[in-house]
Amino acid sequence: MLRKTSIFLMVMLVSATAAWAAGGGVAFKTITAEDLKAELDGGKSKVFLVDARTAEEYRQGHLPGAISVPPNLFGAMAGYLPANKSIPLVFYCRGYSCTLSQSAAVEALRAGYTDIRLYRGGFPEWSQKGYKVVR
């Protein structure tokens, strides 16, 4: 009886953890605009930028070096991400109230990536600061 109860509790814990992560409950590291700019300006950037907005928004303007991987297309576009799953991925979207980057980051976590960061200010903050954008 004790063994069955222990197994049941373990299954419930794993299920609850998976549900929490799937719901965006994962706390990812964040990076500021200034730190990201310094990383990109360094010439030997070790981060891989992922724009989680729609493809149309990406075409209208994005951060230099970013690729477009909207969360709803993550499975189809995951091949565009680095094969090395320990390379730092930085996700961004429409700013502080946008959850697209969080959703895409959860998908990257599920795919096995281990160094995931969010740039919460996103494209609006980046362009408001006058930093270079690709149009």
The domains found in the chain, sorted by start residue, are: 26-128 (3.40.250.10)
Distance CA 103, CA 52 (A): 8
- pLDDT, tens digit, 9 for 90 and up, residues 74-110: 999 989 999 999 999 999 999 999 999 999 999 999 9
Q: Please, is 98 exposed, middle or buried when counting C-beta atoms within 10 Å of its C-beta (0-12, 13-18, 19+)?
A: middle
Task: Select from 52, 38, 39, 130 the least CA-distant residue to 88.
Answer: 39
Task: Select from 99, 98, 90, 84 the least CA-distant residue to 63.
Answer: 90
- pLDDT, tens digit, 9 for 90 and up, residues 110-124: 999 999 999 999 999
- Whether the pTM exceeds 0.75: the reply is yes
Q: What is the mean pLDDT of residues 4-31?
A: 54
CA atoms within 13 A on the CB side of 46: 8
Report whether pLDDT(22) > 70. Answer: no
Q: Which two tokens stand for residue 135?
A: 């149009």
Give the least confident one: 42-46, 60-64, 120-124: 42-46
Distance CA 17, CA 20 (A): 5
Band (2; pLDDT cuts 50, 70, 90): low
